[in-house]
């Protein structure tokens, strides 16, 4: 077991001007499950491959424990990887696939068999040890790939989107198994995914990347409750946060006909570059149905209602003169001028109906309109 440290680690691919990973500073504790998350092309897989030794580090250093592994060969780093592609040998049995790396390294046969059987027991693969990969389901093949990593008994597990090839139900089941297994084994794990739901449900901490730059590191609760900037706010959470930029007048944020008081600390943090505007974020569950004319209520026309049994979500259009003048005033994952509202599933508005909603006190998120950084509140 060991810590992992990225010390200003940078990867610049030949022929490009912008680094794929730019000055990454990140410390991962011994036994921690850290998830690297972000959109496609953000540098998360490159960061993992730098740690594995599969990508060069152009600047900075990488440590496993107290050992500088920046220029160490991958085979000498004492890591084990699990990929999106299971990469199993089709002509070998499950047992042979799991023990192959040990066989290559000259480990005695008796020890290989012992380690394979121990890993198979942990992963519920004991009945399948004599089968070939073609006789297994996708989830079983992924567990074999996990077993191959476990028998190595490495200092660090590296996982690169290992659940992407599984169907939705199996993905939920397998991510629970992986998280439980990691806690049982206590091995430092770096897990890459583009799925923020996986990140929130699996990681001890999450590191969000965008364009090669680290945006924020924190626990799932910290990322959800106090996103550091507009990007993290819009990326973490499902459905995503509603985000819009509004005028500030007389200490109030004007949201169409509604107004929201701006705290003194927030107003003091605004700069000339903000031009008397503030970026406001609010999650679907932070909204509540209100009545027309209430000070904090603004109109939303219902377009779609998603009823999920225990939950229901309205996807609606912001109405009013301000929204008509600027259709991009507010946006969500549903699009410009679209708002997502979580409502009581037993009292759902009809499609086409106009409802009035307000933000619950203290559940708004405020960001600089100029920089996108979180403002004090």
Alpha helices for the chain (secondary structure H): 44-52, 94-104, 109-122, 138-150, 168-185, 196-202, 220-225, 230-235, 264-269, 321-325
**184 three-state secondary structure:** helix
210 DSSP β-pair partners = 213
* C-beta pairs of 102-109 under 8 Å, 24+ apart in sequence: 102/151, 102/152
Rounded Cα gap, residues 19 and 183, in angstroms: 34
DSSP string, 216-266: EEE-HHHHHHS-SBHHHHHHSSSSPPEEEEEEEETTEEEETTEEEEPPHHH
Fold of 239-368: OB fold (Dihydrolipoamide Acetyltransferase, E2P) (2.40.50)
Q: What is the pLDDT of residue 327?
A: 53
- Spatial CA neighbour of 347 closest among 283, 288, 269, 299: 288
Q: Would you kindly state where each structural domain of the chain is located, as residue ranges?
A: 4-234, 239-368
Instruction: Say if CB 324 and CB 277 are below 8 A apart.
Output: no
- Spatial CA neighbour of 22 closest among 174, 211, 277: 211
Global pTM? 0.90
pLDDT (tens digit, 9 = 90+) per residue, 126-142? 999 999 999 998 888 98
Q: What is the pLDDT of residue 27?
A: 98
Mean pLDDT in order along the chain per 10 residues (377 residues): 94 95 97 95 96 96 96 94 87 94 91 93 91 91 90 93 83 86 92 92 96 97 96 92 91 86 92 94 94 86 92 88 60 79 92 92 94 93
Non-local CB neighbours of 80 within 8 Å, separated by 6+ positions: 148, 149, 150, 152, 154, 156, 157, 158
Fold of 4-234: Rossmann fold (3.40.50)
Please state the separation of Cα 340 from the chain's center in Å.
20
- Spatial CA neighbour of 266 closest among 115, 139, 377: 377
DSSP tally for the chain: helices H, then strands E: 10, 22
Q: What is the pLDDT of residue 325?
A: 45
pLDDT (tens digit, 9 = 90+) per residue, 204-231? 999 999 999 999 999 999 999 999 999 9
Exposure of 105 by Cβ count < 10 A (0-12 exposed, 13-18 middle, 19+ buried)?
Answer: exposed
Q: What is the pLDDT of residue 166?
A: 79
Instruction: Say if CB 166 and CB 143 are below 8 A apart.
Output: no
Non-local CB neighbours of 247 within 8 Å, separated by 6+ positions: 253, 254, 276, 277
**89 three-state secondary structure:** coil
């Amino acid at each position: 077991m060991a810590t992992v440290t990225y010390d200003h680690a940078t990867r610049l691919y030949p022929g490009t001007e912008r680094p794929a990973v730019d000055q990454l500073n990140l410390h991962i504790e011994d036994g921690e499950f850290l998830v690297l998350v972000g959109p496609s092309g953000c540098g998360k897989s490159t960061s993992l491959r730098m740690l594995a030794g599969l990508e060069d580090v152009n600047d900075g250093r990488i440590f496993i424990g107290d050992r500088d592994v920046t220029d160490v060969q991958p085979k000498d780093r004492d890591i084990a990887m699990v990929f999106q592609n299971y990469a199993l040998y089709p002509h070998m049995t499950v047992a042979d696939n799991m023990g192959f790396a040990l066989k290559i390294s000259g480990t005695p046969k008796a020890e290989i068999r012992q380690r394979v059987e121990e890993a198979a027991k942990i992963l519920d693969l004991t009945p399948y040890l004599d089968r070939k990969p073609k006789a297994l389901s996708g989830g079983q093949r992924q567990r074999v790939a996990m077993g191959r990593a476990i028998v190595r008994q490495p200092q660090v597990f590296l996982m690169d989107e290992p659940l992407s090839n599984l169907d939705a139900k199996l993905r939920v089941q397998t991510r629970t198994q992986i998280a439980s297994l990691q806690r049982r084994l206590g091995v430092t794990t770096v897990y890459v995914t583009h799925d923020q739901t996986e990140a929130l449900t699996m990681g001890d901490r999450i590191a969000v990347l965008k364009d090669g730059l680290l945006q924020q590191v924190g626990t799932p609760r910290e990322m959800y409750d106090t996103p550091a900037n507009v990007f993290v706010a819009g990326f973490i959470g499902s459905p995503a946060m509603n985000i819009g930029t509004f005028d500030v007048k007389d200490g109030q944020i004007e949201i169409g006909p509604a107004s929201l008081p701006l705290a003194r600390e927030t107003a003091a943090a605004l700069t000339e570059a903000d031009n008397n505007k503030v970026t406001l974020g609010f999650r679907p569950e932070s909204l509540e149905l209100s009545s027309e004319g209430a000070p904090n209520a603004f109109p939303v026309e219902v377009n779609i209602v998603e009823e999920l049994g225990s939950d229901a979500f309205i996807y609606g259009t912001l109405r009013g003169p301000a929204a008509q003048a600027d259709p991009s005033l507010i946006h969500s994952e549903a699009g410009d001028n679209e708002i997502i509202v979580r409502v009581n599933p037993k009292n759902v508005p009809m499609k086409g109906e106009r409802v009035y909603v307000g933000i619950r006190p203290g559940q708004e998120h405020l960001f600089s309109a100029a920089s996108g950084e979180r403002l004090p509140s």
